[in-house]
Amino acid sequence: MLKPMSPEQLRQFTQSHHEQAYLVVDVRQPEEYRRGHIPGALLLPLPELVKSMDRLPADKELIFYCHSGGRSMAAAAMVAEEERHPTIYNLTGGMLAWDGGRVSDVPRVNLFAGQSTVDMLHTAMNLEKGAQRFYEHVSRQFTGQSWAQTFAILARAEVAHAKVVHGFWSKLQADAPAFEALYDQLGGEVLEGGLPLNTALEKAAAVQDQACLRFMEMALQIEYAAFDLYRTLSDQFGTETERSAFLHLAQAEKAHMQGLIKALEGCKS
């Protein structure tokens, strides 16, 4: 079944559905994708889609988009003819109409290039450590500000995410090192989206006014990039353990984004 979907409906849909239930597909060209795309979208240019429709999971609802809606409508119609998917949507107006969060450049999957599953989980833990360090820095820098509590909460949540990652690791390796000892040794030099921690701290030091708004925006950029990275990784790796681990992390990052969007309302202009 092929249905239109407005940008507002897409935002509501992604907030109410688990990451395992759907897939957003960008049918534009790679250079368009790099300039800006919906977080978590799978890049599958229309010419490639025609040749590889079997790459699309049959058990998920699919949402297609492009620049203005024309290419994605063609893609959605072709996939619908296969009658393999429960529901297929086309984003009305494409990226021109989308006014939600977006990320630029491609997800930095090279952070995980050539790694074994255990090594990828180790890298994921280190990225969580980097985000924790950044959020703790902001929380300490603005102690006494009511909004700084949001960053203290985010810092604790990153530790919780790292424990979840360690749990996947423990399932794969019976003699996996204990979480506390391992996590204490991690440097956390890079944040989840691939941004070096030092760069993020330099940006933080440069903030002079509207600190609440500016740091919420920085946190949203970090979380959107993290969601984009983990969602992309879930589509690229073949084992169920890998897909499950990265989808779980993507779902958690999406919850962070939603919490930050709500927290923005408390920032005074």
Of 58, 77, 97, the domain-final residue:
97
169 phi/psi in degrees, rounded to 5? -60, -45
Q: Are residues 132 and 47 in the same domain?
A: no
Q: What is the pLDDT of residues 52-78, one digit of tens each?
A: 888 888 889 999 999 999 999 999 999
Assigned domain for 125 exists: yes
Assigned domain for 104 exists: no
Beta 61-65 vs 88-91: how paired, if at all? parallel
What pLDDT is stored for residue 238 in this prediction? 64
Of 97, 120, 136, the domain-final residue:
97
Q: What is the pLDDT of residues 78-133, one digit of tens each?
A: 999 888 888 999 999 999 999 777 787 777 878 888 888 889 889 999 999 999 99
User: 146-160: string of b/e by CB count within 10 Å (b at 16+)?
Assistant: ebbebbeebbebbbe
Q: Are residues 228 and 131 in the same domain?
A: yes
Contacts (Cβ under 8 Å, ≥6 apart) of 246 = 124, 230, 231, 233, 234, 237
What are the residues facing 90 on neighbouring strands? 4, 64
Looking at the structure of the chain, the number of domains it has is 2
CA angle 233, 248, 75 (to 5 degrees): 50
Which CATH number covers residue 239?
A: 1.20.1260.10
Contacts (Cβ under 8 Å, ≥6 apart) of 90 = 2, 3, 4, 5, 63, 64, 65, 69, 72, 73, 76
Q: What is the pLDDT of residues 125-152, one digit of tens each?
A: 999 999 999 999 999 999 989 899 999 9
Spatial distance between the Cα atoms of 27 and 78, rounded to a whole number of angstroms: 12
Q: Are residues 132 and 254 in the same domain?
A: yes
Q: Are residues 236 and 256 in the same domain?
A: yes
pTM: predicted TM-score of the whole model, two decimal places:
0.76
Q: Are residues 93 and 114 in the same domain?
A: no
Q: Are residues 136 and 214 in the same domain?
A: yes
Per the structure, the complete domain to which residue 195 belongs is given by 109-264
Q: Are residues 132 and 259 in the same domain?
A: yes
Assigned domain for 269 exists: no
Determine what percent of the chain is predicted with pLDDT higher than 90: 49
Q: Are residues 125 and 232 in the same domain?
A: yes
Which CATH number covers residue 40?
A: 3.40.250.10
Of 97, 120, 153, the domain-final residue:
97
